[in-house]
């Protein structure tokens, strides 16, 4: 059977195919573009268009074919042939759009398979619906070609479709959409016409279902109506959707425009704000320093530059502590930055180092900027320089303090009304500020001054600007008091008075203080007695007043004996109390008319006036007085419930005023007092011209001794040493005592009894003593050389107590012994008990030190002092010397002899050697030897001998 096609219908089938494909692709696009909820409907619409498009195209294509035989279509097959492509289309779009498959390519393959198969199935099922007999035969090559076209074109179409989905461009008329629908159209039509070309109709073939099948004409009508209404309906929907879409897009565009303009506006605003801020930052008086979290400076405004003197470029991007933080605060700041932001207080006062040196104090306000993670971005520190404010505040405090002085201060206004008073004002006047505020100072007027006084005062203030003077005022309690008042005018700019400032001091108090000061200056605070100054003053006045009369005056100079000892033993407070007790004790004894004064230390002086015109009577009166004082003291004084025994040495000078002035009177009494001391203390002495002569004598002696001590190295030295031999009871020579001799060129031979004293008092004793030591040591050295370790046991050298108190004694002795190469055991040192009375000396320590060096000691004049036996036990003493005064008593004085024998036996018991000195008779020698005295020394055996003579004794 020939196949002839109606060209118009073929064209119609092509149009149907392309249009429905396009609509299907468009709806499929909507699935993606629109809301999820509607996606099933769009999928269905797409499937319906494509599926029915395929079906309609087929039957229109069939219409275009003129067959020589009438045909009809079996209804079931026809209906199924419509459902298949719809289902296949649905599945294909669903696969392409679903995301269940991993790759795009997988989806494309499956979609292609389903769609291609759907197209092919529809076509061949549609052919089968004609039920031709004999059956249609298909050319296998063309059949396969039709399948290939269906699959390949489906693949390409779907590929473009899925590509169109990827573009953001939301238009259904996109190139890929149009191309995609064209290619799918080609798949359908291409497959159909190739499939038709493959079909071979037998010439005799006919349709077997002409009767019961759907008539060709009916079907054509149905297809055309169906497809037309579908197309119409679909286009309507499409148009509507396009309209909606366009509206939406217009809305979006509008919104976008709005957003864009809003962004632009805000950006401009922000820029403006930023520049404003920057300007503001630069014009601000406050310092602004912006730091990052590491303490690096990021911003440094103009005020900061002005105050610190650093330009921005000098500090920017460097740590703040490199330039701006004082050295002692650097560690603190660094620590704070290691612990941000908690370590940084919002407000604090902190010093800033400035370029020109020094610091300024800034009142900082810190605020920390954090990012969204809470990390520190920046720290904005704003601050004000409060250095001056602090200074001002301090100055204000200071002036407030200054106002509160000891002086009363009152400030009034120009009319004289009180504005302000200080504490001292309130204290002095008794009025508080509230009581006088607004009133004038008239409230204080005492009534002692007349109107003229006040007129003169104000005239002075107005003319000179100030007034000062003494004025009597009245306190609130009515008491009238003198004050020293100063009123000063305070002028304003235009020379108008704005204030008066009055300051005054209560001089009643000052007068009292002056009295107290006067007392301190003229009286002794311990005894309340006149001091030396006041006493001398009075004495001078008295002497002057009595200059022309023959009236006698007497001065009594009283010095406490051994007062230093009491001070050292009981303490100075006790000593002070003793002085006070002593002064009142003396006051009781002397008449009221006398002047008693403490001269200083333990010295008191009494001035007696109105004595008799006769020297003898006057002297007798004073002697009596002195005796009373000495006797009364014998009972001791009560100090702190303790009975203290103290004696005094009193010097007295009696004179009539025509002979002596105050100075010479004092000097005489003083000299007499020294005399009393020299006489053994606890006694009084009158000054006589003889004493005066003695003093002169002593002075001469001191000068001569000082001179002669420089001559000891000369051949004919005025100073020399003699040796008095010491024997045992068998008259064997055992040792000797070295005694110093002085034959002064000027004064002649002087006894050591006299010049040792002078040497001690003048400080020459050290040199004199060392002269003796050197001389004795060199003599020993010579004797040892001469007699080859002489038979002499030792030589004794006298040491004065003044020598013993010299701290260098041991050292000097050791040097001398070393110099002369003499063993320390070859010398014995004699000292007297008076050494223990001097408190400057610690005998135990000294003797221990010296005996450690090998020296031995002899206690001289034993029995004449206080002979404390404890010293004999405690000190390293080797020998006792019985004093000549006891030996003198042998054989006539029993008590002397008892003392001698007791001393000897005690020495024996203590294991000490004992020497009797001053042995002058054989009787004394024998008796002493009989008592057990082993060593004897005296004129009986030998006088002290010069070295040359002494050596002769040894040769025997
Ligand atoms: P003293 O230590 O008690 O010395 C003994 C004194 O008695 C010596 O007198 C001696 O010449 C004298 N004498 C000795 N035997 C007799 C005697 O049988 N009859 C009499 N009437 N007198 C005798 P001198 O030398 O005048 O010394 C007097 C005092 O001078 C000494 O007393 C001693 O305390 C002191 N003295 C002497 N030389 C020195 C010395 O070198 N240094 C120190 N510090 N004092 C010395
Ligand atoms: Ca002696
Ligand atoms: Ca002696």
Q: pLDDT tens digit string along 470-524?
A: 898 899 998 888 888 999 888 877 788 888 989 888 888 777 787 788 888 899 9
DSSP state of 204: T
Q: Which ligand is nearest to the CA of 918?
A: 1
Question: Residue 491 forms beta bridges with which residues?
Answer: 497
* Bridge pairing between strands 733-744 and 719-728: antiparallel
Q: pLDDT tens digit string along 108-133?
A: 899 999 999 999 999 999 888 888 88
Distance 918 CA to ligand 1 centre (A): 9
Which residue CA neighbors atom 16 of ligand 1 most closely? 918
Confidence of residue 791 (pLDDT cuts 50, 70, 90): low
Q: Which atom of ligand 1 is nearest to the CA of 797?
A: 41
Distance 750 CA to ligand 3 centre (A): 18
Q: pLDDT tens digit string along 642-672?
A: 898 899 999 999 987 777 888 889 999 998 9
Q: pLDDT tens digit string along 757-780?
A: 889 888 899 999 999 999 999 999
| pLDDT at position 3 over 90 | no
> Dihedral of CA 48/51/54/55: which sign?
negative
Which residue CA neighbors atom 41 of ligand 1 most closely? 740
Mean pLDDT over residues 380-397, rounded? 85
Distance 556 CA to ligand 2 centre (A): 37
Distance 282 CA to ligand 3 centre (A): 105
Distance 881 CA to ligand 3 centre (A): 7
Which residue CA neighbors atom 37 of ligand 1 most closely? 739
> Which protein residues are within 6 Å of ligand 1, measured from CB?
724, 739-740, 751-753, 756, 769, 772, 798-800, 830, 860-861, 884, 917-920, 937-939, 944
Could you tell me the two tokens for 948?
A: 């040359």
Which residue CA neighbors atom 12 of ligand 1 most closely? 918
Q: Which atom of ligand 1 is nearest to the CA of 765?
A: 44
Q: Which ligand is nearest to the CA of 738?
A: 1
Confidence of residue 239 (pLDDT cuts 50, 70, 90): confident
Q: What are phi and psi of 170, to 5 degrees?
A: -95, 70
Distance 925 CA to ligand 3 centre (A): 17
Q: Which atom of ligand 1 is nearest to the CA of 940?
A: 18
| pLDDT at position 451 over 70 | yes
Listed in sequence order, the residues at least 6 apart from 917 whose beta carbon sits closer than 8 Å to its beta carbon are 737, 881, 882, 883, 884, 887, 937, 938
Q: Which atom of ligand 1 is nearest to the CA of 944?
A: 11
Say which residue, 329 or 650, is predicted with more confidence. 650
Q: Other C-beta atoms within 10 Å of 770: how many?
A: 19
Could you tell me the two tokens for 414?
A: 């120009």
Number of H helices, E strands in the chain: 32, 35
Q: Other C-beta atoms within 10 Å of 211: how many?
A: 8
* Bridge pairing between strands 595-600 and 603-608: antiparallel
pLDDT for the residue numbered 277? 81
Q: Which atom of ligand 1 is nearest to the CA of 937?
A: 15
Distance 863 CA to ligand 2 centre (A): 14
Distance CA 402, CA 397 (A): 8
pLDDT for the residue numbered 11? 92
Mean pLDDT over residues 661-689, rounded? 88
Q: Which atom of ligand 1 is nearest to the CA of 919?
A: 18
Reported pTM = 0.42
Could you tell me the two tokens for 328?
A: 């002692």
Q: What is the mean pLDDT of the chain?
A: 88
List, as ranges, residues with CB under 5 A of the ion ligand 2.
798, 830, 860
Distance 938 CA to ligand 2 centre (A): 12
Confidence of residue 838 (pLDDT cuts 50, 70, 90): low
Distance CA 730, CA 485 (A): 99
**Which of 773, 798, 950 maximizes ligand 1 atoms within 8 Å of its Cβ, making it the mutation to test the pocket?**
798
Distance 797 CA to ligand 2 centre (A): 7
């Amino acid at each position: 059977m020939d196949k002839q096609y109606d060209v118009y219908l073929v064209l119609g089938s092509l149009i149907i195919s392309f249009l429905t494909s396009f609509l299907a692709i468009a709806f499929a696009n909507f699935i993606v573009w629109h809301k999820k909820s509607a996606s099933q409907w769009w999928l269905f619409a797409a499937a319906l268009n494509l599926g029915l498009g395929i079906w309609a195209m087929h039957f229109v294509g069939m219409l275009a074919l003129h067959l020589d035989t009438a045909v009809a279509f079996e209804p079931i097959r026809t209906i199924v042939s419509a459902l298949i492509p719809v289902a296949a289309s649905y599945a294909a779009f669903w696969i392409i759009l679903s995301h269940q498959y991993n790759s795009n390519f997988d989806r494309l393959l499956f979609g292609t398979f389903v769609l291609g198969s759907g197209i092919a199935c529809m076509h061949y099922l549609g052919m089968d619906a004609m039920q031709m007999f004999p059956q249609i035969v298909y050319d296998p090559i063309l059949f396969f070609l039709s399948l290939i076209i269906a699959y390949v074109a489906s693949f390409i179409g779907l590929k473009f479709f899925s590509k169109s989905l990827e573009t953001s461009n939301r238009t259904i008329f996109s190139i890929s959409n149009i191309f995609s629908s064209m290619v799918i159209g080609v798949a359908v039509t291409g497959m159909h016409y190739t499939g038709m070309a493959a079909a071979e109709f037998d010439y005799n073939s006919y349709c077997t279902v002409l009767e019961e099948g759907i008539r060709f004409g009916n079907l054509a009508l149905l297809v055309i109506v169906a497809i037309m209404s579908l197309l119409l309906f679909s286009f309507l929907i499409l148009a509507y959707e396009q309209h909606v879409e366009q509206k939406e897009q217009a809305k979006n565009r509008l919104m976008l425009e709005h957003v864009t303009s809003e962004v632009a506006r805000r950006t401009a605003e922000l820029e403006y704000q930023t520049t404003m801020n920057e300007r503001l930052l630069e014009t601000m008086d406050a310092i602004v320093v912006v730091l990052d979290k590491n303490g690096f400076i990021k911003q440094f405004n103009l005020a900061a530059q002005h105050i610190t003197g650093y330009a921005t470029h000098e500090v920017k991007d460097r740590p703040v502590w490199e330039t701006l933080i004082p050295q002692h605060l650097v560690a603190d700041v660094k620590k704070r930055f290691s612990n941000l932001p908690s370590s940084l207080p919002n407000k604090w006062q902190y010093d800033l180092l400035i370029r020109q040196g020094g610091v300024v104090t800034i009142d900082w306000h810190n605020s920390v900027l954090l990012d969204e993670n809470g990390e520190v971005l920046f720290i904005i520190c704003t601050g004000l320089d409060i250095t001056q404010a602090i200074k001002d505040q301090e100055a204000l405090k200071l002036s407030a303090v200054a106002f509160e002085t000891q002086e009363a201060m009152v400030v009034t206004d120009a009319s004289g009304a009180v504005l302000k008073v200080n504490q001292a004002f309130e204290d002095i006047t008794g009025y508080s500020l509230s009581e006088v505020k607004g009133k004038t100072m008239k409230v204080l007027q005492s009534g002692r001054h007349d109107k003229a006084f006040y007129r003169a005062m104000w005239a002075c203030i107005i003319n000179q600007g100030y007034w000062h003077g003494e004025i009597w005022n009245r306190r609130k309690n009515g008491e009238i008091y003198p004050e020293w008042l100063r009123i000063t005018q305070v002028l304003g700019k235009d020379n108008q008075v704005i204030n008066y400032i009055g300051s005054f001091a209560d001089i009643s108090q000052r007068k009292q203080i002056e009295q107290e000061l006067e007392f301190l200056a003229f009286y002794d605070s311990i005894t309340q007695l006149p001091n030396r100054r006041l006493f001398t003053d009075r004495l001078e006045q008295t002497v002057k007043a009595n200059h022309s009369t023959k009236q006698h005056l007497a001065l009594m100079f009283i010095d406490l004996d051994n007062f230093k000892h009491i001070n050292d033993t009981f303490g100075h407070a006790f000593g002070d109390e003793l002085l006070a007790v002593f002064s009142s004790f003396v006051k009781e004894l002397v008449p009221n008319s006398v002047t008693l004064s403490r001269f200083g230390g333990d010295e008191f002086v009494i001035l007696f006036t109105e004595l008799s015109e006769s020297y003898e009577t006057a002297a007798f009166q004073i002697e009596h007085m002195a005796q009373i004082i000495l006797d009364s003291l014998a009972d001791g004084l009560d100090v702190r419930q303790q009975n203290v025994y103290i004696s005094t040495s009193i010097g007295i000078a009696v004179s009539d005023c025509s002979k002596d002035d105050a100075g010479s009177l004092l000097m005489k009494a003083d000299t007499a007092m020294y005399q009393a001391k020299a006489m053994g203390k606890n006694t009084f002495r009158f000054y006589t011209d003889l004493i005066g002569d003695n003093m002169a004598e002593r002075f001469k002696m001191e000068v001569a001794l000082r001179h002669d001590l420089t001559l000891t190295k000369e051949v004919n030295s005025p100073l020399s040493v003699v040796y008095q031999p010491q024997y045992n009871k068998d008259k064997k020579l055992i040792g000797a005592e070295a005694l110093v001799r002085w034959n002064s060129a000027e004064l002649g031979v002087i006894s050591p009894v006299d010049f040792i004293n002078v040497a001690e008092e003048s400080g020459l004793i050290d040199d004199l003593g060392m002269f003796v030591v050197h001389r004795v040591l060199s003599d020993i050295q010579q004797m040892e050389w001469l007699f080859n370790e002489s038979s002499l046991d030792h030589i004794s050298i006298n040491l004065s107590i003044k020598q013993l108190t010299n701290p260098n004694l041991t050292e000097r002795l050791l040097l001398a012994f070393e110099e002369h190469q003499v063993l320390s055991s070859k010398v014995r040192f004699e000292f007297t008990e008076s050494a223990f009375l001097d408190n400057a000396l610690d005998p135990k320590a000294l003797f221990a030190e010296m005996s450690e060096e090998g020296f031995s000691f002899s206690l001289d004049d034993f029995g004449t002092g206080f002979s404390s036996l404890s010293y004999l036990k405690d000190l390293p003493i080797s020998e006792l010397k019985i004093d000549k005064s006891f030996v003198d008593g042998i054989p006539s004085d029993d008590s002397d002899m008892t003392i001698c024998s007791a001393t000897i036996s005690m020495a024996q018991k203590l294991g000490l050697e004992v020497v009797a000195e001053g042995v002058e008779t054989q009787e004394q020698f024998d008796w002493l030897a009989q008592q057990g005295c082993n060593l004897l020394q005296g004129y009986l055996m030998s006088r002290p001998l010069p070295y040359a003579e002494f050596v002769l004794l040894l040769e025997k």
